[in-house]
Chains A and B, each alone.
Chain A
């Protein structure tokens, strides 16, 4: 089964910029992988941020953006705020029959 890999943890300063990545053991991540990104804070359900690589939901702050970079999916936070400290998960569509796989998550610390 496909394994989706994210950085376990990253640290960023307030106001800084950070990029989280999402790689697939099946090969390069493309738009066909339909990358989704989610933010989860303790005690809360995940909140959808990005779908179809780079599309934002109506509630997604402008400082979040999604992209493809070097065979991976990426989530960039520009002008990081203290409230962005959270766990971030990517989700990729893998193979046929509507099969989805989550990454292991990236714990983002704002310090």
Chain B
């Protein structure tokens, strides 16, 4: 059974960098598939953030590309999200996924001073 678990700070100050990790169990990232991040502001819809292949190739939402870095660490079987210069508009529930069948439970990140 593939399981994904997000972790990271729940509160980030405006203009700082949001960082989240996604630990994968039940499947080796290096075996294949694409992996990604999706977010959902409170009470709103879903937004695709970006995708990474186990080889390290990345694909980003154009609206976030200038602030976004997604990376993978196959030795730890995890991948990560970094979003810089955050504002209140980045407050959301952040999900990590194995495109697109398995989802984590989500990590709520609030941007506030």
Contacts and interface: CB of A to CB of B under 8 A. Distances in A.
Interface of A: 1, 36, 38, 45-48, 51, 57, 89, 91, 97-105
Contact of B48 (A51, A91, A97): A91
Contacts of A89: 45-46
B62 A1 contact: yes
A54 B89 CA distance: 34
Contacts of B106: 45
Contact of B101 (A57, A98, A99): A57
A104 B43 CA distance: 12
B79 interface: no
Interface of B: 34, 38, 45-48, 51, 59, 61-63, 95, 100-106
A104 B103 CA distance: 19
A105 B43 CA distance: 12
Nearest to A37: B100
Nearest to B63: A1
A101 B50 CA distance: 11
B100 A36 contact: yes
A1 B103 CA distance: 25
Given A46-B46, A57-B101, A91-B48, A99 B95 contact: no
Contacts of A46: 46, 95, 103
Contact of A100 (B51, B63, B95, B101): B51
B62 A91 contact: no
Contacts of A98: 34, 51, 59
26 contacts: A1-B62, A1-B63, A45-B103, A45-B104, A45-B105, A47-B103, A48-B100, A48-B101, A48-B102, A48-B103, A51-B100, A51-B101, A89-B45, A91-B48, A98-B34, A98-B51, A99-B59, A99-B61, A100-B48, A101-B48, A102-B38, A102-B45, A102-B46, A102-B48, A103-B45, A105-B46
